[in-house]
């Protein structure tokens, strides 16, 4: 069902730069909402390196990816920002005029957002499942090759081949084993990255023949597309074998793709969005790009650069949202108005 | 020092490399395309390369972490490595590496 909302500014991407953009907009009284393809905030910091220390965040000699995200979420709490997760912006319609831009943004979860400004903070693009480069795989995708399980029932009594050695592969092998006619788990080697208790459970099921555990890589698909009948595999010792299956579920992690951003009429340079360095605005007035996704002379892909970009873009967004109001620059240390916004004084 | 890199289109390039930096950074600095989306943290396997057969034994062995992460790459061979985990040293002068195919 379509949901329609209205906001001053829409931020695409809930990574560190998108989160700090919420803060900078909030300071100048701009209501923002945030859309992200992942199920949680944090972008690459949360998805790729939650436990890795970062050493170049000003004021933090060392901070882990997830810690930084948690701190940013804490920092923007006063603004009670709506987040819309698990969805990708698929369409961006330019309405309004150059002077008074308006946009209508639609996601693949039927969310429609009317907004005065759009800030793209999408990092390397949206996280999508890695698709194995097997010839003809696109003819099976969505039917017998799937990268996510929406309803387990659709896989009942099917012969499943789950590929991968991480948590997703192991969790789904365990969850689907009681439902499926047969579960084969294939990984390239006999070492698993998944949580040890899942690995133990899986091995116990394999030992009693309830899961087939195989080692190797899929090299080809066989069937009458879109129906799969078997896959061809190469084992660790280069031995070739087939596995019969109705559905293959590859779990090789996520990769970043620019996706629909390419279709919004923005200038692009090698999959990056060129911006001016005064407001980090794109060639379309009212659409801004900050963080890893933008490019300009001297650009460095650092989180700290994205923070700076967020502060400056907020100034220009203010002009769009409040064309008649003059923006007086204020320090968070000394401004009582800001203290009220942040809830530190009543 | 110089190394030889074969890009995804099969073109060979001789590029300069700085001892102490990773093979991934050397490839990127030379302007060749390597996805390396986690930026060299050994987390994403998108800097997957094949090293030439006769170079395999001359590289430091894979760490357990590298081998684990390599599982998220595709078309893995015995000579598969993650370029972000190979540190350039003078001993690797002349190294031949091929940037491996990507996931779609």
**Residue A100 sits in the same domain as residue A141:** no
Instruction: Kindly report which listed range (A113-122, A244-253, A277-286, B36-45) carries the lowest average pLDDT score.
Output: B36-45
Tell me what pLDDT residue B58 has: 93
Is there a single domain that holds both residue A110 and residue A181? no
Domain count, chain A: 2
Tell how strand A83-84 and strand A126-129 pair up: unpaired
Q: Dihedral angle at the C-alpha atoms of B17, B22, B28, B31, nearest 10 degrees? A: 0
Buried b (16+ CB within 10 A) or exposed e, A245-263: bbbbbbbbbbbbbbbbbee
Distance from CA of A129 to the nearest CA of B (A): 9
In the block, tokens 């693949």 appear at A108
Question: What separation in angstroms does the CA of A260 have from each of A117, A122, B32?
Answer: 18, 12, 25
pLDDT reported for residue B103:
87
What pLDDT score does B104 carry?
82
- Which residues of A fall within a CB distance of 8 Å from B102? 133
d(Cα B101, Cα B104) in Å, to the nearest integer? 9
**Cβ-based neighbour number of residue A237 at 10 Å:** 7
B21 assigned to some structural domain? yes
Distance between CA atoms of residues A86 and A93, nearest Å: 21
The shortest C-alpha distance from B99 to chain A (Å) reads 15
Summary mean pLDDT of chain A:
96
Enclosing H/E stretch for B70 = helix B64-70
Within a domain: B104: no
Alpha carbons B46 and B49: distance in angstroms, whole number:
9
- Do A262 and A150 share a structural domain? no
- Give residue-wise pLDDT tens across range A60-90: 999 999 999 999 999 999 999 999 999 999 9
**A236, A294: one domain:** no
What is the percent of chain A where pLDDT is above 70?
Answer: 100
Q: How far from the centroid of its chain's Cα atoms is residue A211's Cα?
A: 32
Which of A190, A219, A252 lies at the terminal end of a domain, its last residue? A252
pLDDT tens-digit series, residues B58-87: 999 999 999 999 999 999 999 999 999 999
> Does an H or E element contain A313, and which?
helix A303-321
Structure tokens at A290: 């900050």
Residue A324's pLDDT is what?
95
Predicted local distance difference test score (pLDDT) of residue B23: 97
pLDDT band, very low/low/confident/very high, at B17 (cuts 50, 70, 90): very high
Q: Is there a contact between B68 and A191 if contact means CB atoms under 8 Å apart?
A: yes
B residues 25-84 lying closer than 8 A (beta carbon) to A: 35, 37-39, 41, 43-46, 64, 67-68, 71-76
Q: Is residue B8 a part of any domain in this protein?
A: yes
Cα–Cα dist A139/A162, whole Å: 18
Q: Classify residue A51 by burial, with Cβ atoms within 10 Å: 0-12, 13-18, 19+.
A: exposed
Residues A86 and A32 both lie in one domain: yes
User: Domain range for residue B38?
Assistant: 2-99
**pLDDT tens for each residue of A221-241:** 999 999 999 999 999 899 999
pLDDT higher than threshold 90 for residue A120: yes
Pick from A252, A270, A291: which residue ends a domain?
A: A252
Domain boundary among A225, A252, A279: A252
Residue B12 in any domain: the answer is: yes
B80, part of any domain: yes
What integer pLDDT is reported at residue A103 of this predicted model?
97
**Using CA atoms, how far apart are residues A53 and A62, in angstroms rounded to an integer?**
6
> What value does the CA radius of gyration of chain A take, rounded to a whole number of Å?
24
pLDDT exceeds 90 at position A220: yes
Instruction: Kindly state the tokens that stand for A67.
Output: 């810690």
Span B22-72, pLDDT tens digits: 999 999 999 999 999 888 999 999 999 999 999 999 999 999 999 999 999
Sort out which chain B residues have CB atoms less than 8 A from A255's CB and list them.
Answer: 35, 37, 44, 46, 103
A78 in the same domain as A116: yes
Q: Looking at the structure, tell me whether residues A11 and A83 fall in a common domain.
A: yes
Give pLDDT, residue A346: 78
Q: Do A58 and A196 reside in the same domain of the chain?
A: no
Rounded distance between C-alpha atoms, residue B62 and residue B47, angstroms:
14
Task: List A54's β-bridge partners, or say none.
Answer: A63
Distances in whole angstroms, Cα of residue B16 to Cα of each of B22, B49, B88: 12, 17, 11
- CATH number where A106 lies: 3.50.50.60
Same domain, A118 and A40: yes
Same-domain pairing of A214 and A180: yes
Is the same domain home to A119 and A191?
no
Q: Least CA distance to B78: which residue of chain A?
A: A236
Whether the CB-CB separation of B51 and B77 falls below 8 Å is answered with no
The number of folded domains in chain B is 1
CB B15 within 8 A of CB B32: yes
| Interface mutation vs chain A, best among B25, B28, B34, B44, most A CBs within 10 Å | B44
Checking if the pLDDT of A208 tops 90, the result is yes
Per-residue pLDDT at A86: 95
Residue A149: domain span: 131-252
Same domain, A36 and A106: yes
Residue A26: pLDDT band (50, 70, 90) is very high
CATH code for position B45? 3.10.20.30
Residue A201: how many other CB atoms lie within 10 Å: 18
Average pLDDT over residues A80-108: 95
Segment A255-265 shows an average pLDDT of 91
pLDDT score recorded for residue A272: 95
- Cβ neighbour number for residue A78 with a 10 Å cutoff: 14
Q: What number is the ipTM of this complex?
A: 0.87
Domain assignment present for B70: yes
């Amino acid at each position: 069902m379509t949901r329609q909302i209205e906001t001053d500014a829409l931020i695409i991407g809930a990574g560190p730069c998108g989160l700090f953009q919420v803060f900078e907009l909030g300071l100048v009284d701009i209501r923002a909402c945030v859309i992200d393809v992942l199920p949680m905030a944090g972008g690459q910091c949360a998805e790729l390196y939650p436990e890795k220390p970062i050493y170049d965040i000003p004021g933090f000699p060392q901070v882990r990816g997830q810690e930084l995200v948690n701190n940013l979420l804490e920092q923007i709490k006063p603004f009670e920002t709506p987040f819309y997760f698990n969805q990708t912006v698929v369409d961006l319609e330019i309405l309004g005029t150059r002077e008074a831009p308006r946009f209508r943004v639609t996601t693949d979860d039927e969310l429609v957002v009317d907004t005065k400004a759009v800030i793209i903070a999408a990092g390397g693009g949206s996280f999508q499942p890695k698709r194995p480069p097997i010839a003809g795989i696109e003819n099976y995708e969505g039917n017998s090759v799937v990268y996510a399980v929406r309803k387990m029932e659709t896989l009942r009594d099917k012969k499943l081949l789950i590929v991968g050695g991480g948590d997703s592969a192991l969790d789904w092998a365990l969850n689907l084993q009681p439902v499926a006619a047969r579960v084969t788990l294939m990984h390239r080697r006999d070492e698993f990255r998944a949580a040890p208790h899942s690995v133990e459970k899986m091995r116990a099921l394999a030992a009693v023949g309830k899961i087939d555990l195989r080692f190797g890589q899929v090299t080809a698909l066989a069937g009458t597309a879109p129906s799969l009948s078997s896959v061809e595999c190469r084992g660790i010792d280069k031995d070739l074998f087939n596995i019969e299956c109705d559905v293959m579920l590859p779990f090789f992690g996520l990769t970043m793709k620019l996706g629909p951003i390419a279709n919004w009429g923005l200038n692009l340079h090698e999959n990056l969005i060129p911006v001016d360095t005064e407001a980090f605005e794109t060639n379309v007035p009212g659409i801004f790009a900050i963080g890893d996704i933008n490019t300009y002379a001297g650009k460095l892909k650092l989180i700290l650069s994205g923070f700076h970009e967020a502060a400056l873009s907020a100034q220009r967004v203010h002009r769009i949202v409040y064309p008649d109001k003059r923006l007086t620059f204020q320090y968070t240390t000394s401004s009582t108005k800001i203290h009220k916004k942040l809830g530190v004084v009543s | 020092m110089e190394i030889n890199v074969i890009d995804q289109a099969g073109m060979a390039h001789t590029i300069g490399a700085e001892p102490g930096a990773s093979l991934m950074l050397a490839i990127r600095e030379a302007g060749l395309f390597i996805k390396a989306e986690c930026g060299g943290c050994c987390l994403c396997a998108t800097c997957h390369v094949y090293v030439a057969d006769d170079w395999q034994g001359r590289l430091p062995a894979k760490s357990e972490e590298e081998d684990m992460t390599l599982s998220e790459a595709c078309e893995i061979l015995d000579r598969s490595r993650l370029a972000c985990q190979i540190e350039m040293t003078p001993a690797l002068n002349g190294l031949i590496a091929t940037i491996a195919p990507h996931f779609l």
